[in-house]
Amino acid sequence: LKTFRPKKKFTHGTMRYSLYKQAQASLNSGINLRAVVKLPPGEDLSDWIAVHVVDFFNRINLIYGTISEYCDSTTCPIMSGGARFEYLWADGEKYRKPTALSAPQYVSLLMDWIETQINNENLFPVSTDIPFPKTFIPLCRKILTRLFRVFVHVYIHHFDRIVKIGAEAHVNTCYKHFYYFIMEFELINHKELEPLAEMTSKVCKDFASPRQTTVSGSIN
């Protein structure tokens, strides 16, 4: 499988690297995904969220990379999730107003934008000595909301390709992990989840309670 762009890695020996390894070990042990996403006792919530945001960025990059050659401006002239949902791009800089783009353009700009955020040590501190900024949770909400839109596009427009290459189980597991995480900490507005609501109810059958821990912070 080709990776859409270079993977962001955690520095070996750091506390966040340890948290990442802990999360991976739990995930690989095959235990319930709803238990895997819970904040480990004594750990900092922002650190836990930072580790997962970076990990989901890497995983969703890889998933999109598997279908990217089938997602071009001809097949996907708009960034959509079915007939009812279209996503516009805005970054406050080059695209000051929400702008209609093709799916590959949108995803490319999105991944560049996320990479810039997570590599900015003022936004995602590398050292635990440096506190997270007050904007951290709202920024993570925005990153995860936009990453969810990549899931929407892949599932609705390219799932036949995912099935064809035998990656369906992998993508579904990644989606479940992502979904349980954002629900555990209320990181995405429920309206954003609507495009995949039907599929989610099938894939995440064991999900009953919609809310566990509330994290403050708004998203635009």
Instruction: Tell me whether residue 71 is annotated as binding.
Output: yes
Instruction: Tell me whether residue 158 is annotated as binding.
Output: yes
89 three-class SS:
strand
C-beta of residue 103 within 8 angstroms of C-beta of residue 76: yes
Torsion of CA 2, 10, 53, 159, to 10 degrees: 20
Instruction: Tell me whether residue 177 is annotated as binding.
Output: no
Count of helices and strands (H, E) across the chain: 7, 0
DSSP class of residue 124 equals: S
Instruction: Tell me whether residue 157 is annotated as binding.
Output: no
99 three-class SS:
strand
Binding-site residues, please? 71, 76, 153, 158
Binding-site residues for Zn(2+), please? 71, 76, 153, 158
